[in-house]
């Protein structure tokens, strides 16, 4: 399974990726994590990326594509990969396709975990976390953590204005990408507004797993 994972922040993308990793042992390749790892390991591309990051600039597409290509040469990706956080735009998707076809490992699907933005706003703004143990719950848990009795609080970026802004940014940058994958007949859309296990069953069915 060679897949790109798409979905708004709060759509449950991470949960679905974790389930795929657990069941199929497919590496979950998050470009954010990979950049940090390459920088820490001091690889040539890592050093290049670091020079942009240190200057406060975005790491250019060719550097990220280089990292992804490098990562895909590692043996653990032989049976597939789940790419998360890249591509973010359609030009990046085109570049990624070119690299993957050079490697002879084209994408099988772009999997979109689709959730109505209003549902996500509700999900995220009702999220509460425990200061003591990190438990993630909801408003319904009340002021104390059901696990450890610690204080429950709301993360700053889970307030409504911030959540709406994050969703707007996602929508603007990702809609052309979704159109691109639809055009390539690679887009698989799963209704993410259901129990995570039900969503997962659909994901597997859609990917013929």
Q: d(Cα 80, Cα 68) in Å, to the nearest integer? A: 13
State yes or no: is 71 an active-site residue.
Answer: no
All residues at 6 or more sequence positions from 75 whose CB lies less than 8 Å from its CB, including other chains: none
Active-site residue, from 13, 48, 71, 128: 13
State yes or no: is 36 an active-site residue.
Answer: no
Describe the strand order of the beta sheet including 187-191 as a list of residue ranges.
Answer: 28-30, 81-84, 2-7, 109-114, 187-191
Q: Does 148 bind Zn ion (CB under 5 A)?
A: yes
Q: Does 136 bind Zn ion (CB under 5 A)?
A: no
Kindly determine how many residues on this chain lie close enough to bind Zn ion according to the rule CB under 5 A: 8
Q: Does 133 bind Zn ion (CB under 5 A)?
A: yes
Q: d(Cα 53, Cα 112) in Å, to the nearest integer? A: 29
Which of 8, 72, 93, 130 contacts Zn ion by CB under 5 A?
130
Q: Does 132 bind Zn ion (CB under 5 A)?
A: yes
Measured between its terminal Cα atoms, the distance across the chain in Å is 8
Which of 147, 159, 169, 175 contacts Zn ion by CB under 5 A?
147
Q: Which residues are catalytic?
A: 13, 88, 127, 155, 166
Interface positions with Zn ion (CB under 5 A): 130, 132-133, 135, 145, 147-148, 150
């Amino acid at each position: 399974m060679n897949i790109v994972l798409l979905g708004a922040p709060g759509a449950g993308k991470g949960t679905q990726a974790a389930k795929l990793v657990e069941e199929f042992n497919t590496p979950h390749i998050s470009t954010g994590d990979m950049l940090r790892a390459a920088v820490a390991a001091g690889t040539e591309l890592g050093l290049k990326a670091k020079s942009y990051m240190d200057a406060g600039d975005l790491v250019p597409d060719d550097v990220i594509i280089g990292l992804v290509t490098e990562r895909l040469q590692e043996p653990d990706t032989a049976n597939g990969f789940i790419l998360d956080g890249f591509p973010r735009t359609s030009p990046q998707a085109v570049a990624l396709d070119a690299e993957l076809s050079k490697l002879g490992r084209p994408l099988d699907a772009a999997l979109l975990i689709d959730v109505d933005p209003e549902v996500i706003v509700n999900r995220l703004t009702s999220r509460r976390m425990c200061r003591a143990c990190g438990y993630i719950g909801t408003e319904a848990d009340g002021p104390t953590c059901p696990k450890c009795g610690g204080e429950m609080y709301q993360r700053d970026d889970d307030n409504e204005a911030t959540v709406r802004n994050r969703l707007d940014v996602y929508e603007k940058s990702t809609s052309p990408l979704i159109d691109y994958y639809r055009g390539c007949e690679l887009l698989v859309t799963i209704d993410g507004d259901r129990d995570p296990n039900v969503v997962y069953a659909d994901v597997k069915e859609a990917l013929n797993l």
